[in-house]
Amino acid sequence: MRILVVEDEQPLADAIARGLRREGLAVDVTYDGLDAQEKVAVTRYDVVVLDRDLPSLSGDRLCAELVASQELTRVLMLTASGTVADRVEGLSLGADDYLAKPFAFDELVARVRALGRRSTPATPPLLTAHDLELDSARMRVTRSGGEVDLTRKEFGVLQVLLAARGAVVSSEELLERVWDEYADPFTTTVRVTVMTLRKKLGDPSVIDTVVGSGYRVPSAGSGTSSDTDAEVSGAGEK
C-alpha cells in the first residue's frame, strides 16, 4: 500500500511516516501543499493523510482536487480542531475520513488500512495460493502450516503478487507499490527481494519469472515455470 503524508509540522509528519513504515507500508512525506499536489499528479497513492492547514496550498483545496480527479485515492484528513462542525466541513469537501489531533497512532493505522482496502478492488484479508497463506491483518505468512519469517519488503512483494490473482506484476509496479519515492528505479532491489523471498518460501517455488514482463504467483491448477533469479551481490533492501 502506498501512502502520502502531507503535514506541515515536520516532527509529526516524520513520526507518522516512521510508524506507518513499521507497519509495512510504503510512505512518502511532504510538508507543503504545492509539493503534495505535484506528487499526487505523478504517483497513484492508495491513501493521502492530509492536514487541513498547509502552506502554499491548503489541504481543503488539495482534497477537492483529488475528489475532482476521480482517482481511487482515499483521503484521511487531519485537523487540530475536532468539533462536529469541522468534521462535517471536512467530509463535505470529499474527505473519506477525518481524524482530530491529538490522535492515537493505532487508530490512525486502522483508519489508513481501512481506507486502503477501499482504494483498490476488494481483496480478501487472507490471500492464498497452493499451500501458501498470507494474513494481511496479522502480517503473517505460512506455508504448509509452518510460519515463514519475512522482512516488511518481502511481505509487501508477496502481498502484491498474491493480490494479482495470477496476473503478471512488473518490477516497476512492485517498486512503486512496495517501496517509496527514494527507491532507485534502476536498482536490483526488486530482483534481489524476489530471490530471497523464493528461498524463504522454499521448494517447489511458487513465484514465476515471466521473462521481460515481471513476476507472478500462478493460481492453483495452472502450470509453473522453473525460472529463478540469478544471485546478485552487493544489493539490498531499501
Amino acid residing at 91: L
Residue-level pLDDT at 91? 73
Residue-level pLDDT at 225? 45
Residue-level pLDDT at 82? 61
Contacts of 107 (CB under 8 A, 6+ apart): 99
CATH 3.40.50.2300 domain extents, the chain:
2-118
Residue-level pLDDT at 83? 66
Residue-level pLDDT at 238? 41
Q: Which CATH number is 2-118 given?
A: 3.40.50.2300
Task: Judge contact between 205 and 198, C-beta under 8 A.
Answer: yes
Residue-level pLDDT at 39? 92
Residue-level pLDDT at 228? 45
Distances (CA, A) of 107 to 53, 71, 101, 148: 21, 25, 12, 28
Is this model's pTM higher than 0.75 or not? no
Q: Answer whether the bond into residue 55 is a cis peptide, omega within 30°.
A: no
Tell me the pLDDT of the chain (238 aa) as tens digits: 889 999 999 999 999 999 998 888 889 999 999 999 999 988 888 899 999 889 889 999 999 998 888 777 899 999 876 666 777 776 777 889 989 888 999 999 999 988 887 756 555 678 888 899 998 878 899 999 999 999 988 998 998 899 888 899 998 888 888 887 777 766 788 999 999 999 999 999 999 999 888 999 987 655 444 444 443 333 344 4
Domain covering 126-216: architecture: Orthogonal Bundle (1.10)
DSSP 7-26: -SSHHHHHHHHHHHHHTT-E
Residue-level pLDDT at 220? 62
CATH 1.10.10.10 domain extents, the chain:
126-216
Residue 67 cell numbers, joined:
475528489
Q: How far apart are CA 124 and CA 219, in angstroms?
A: 15
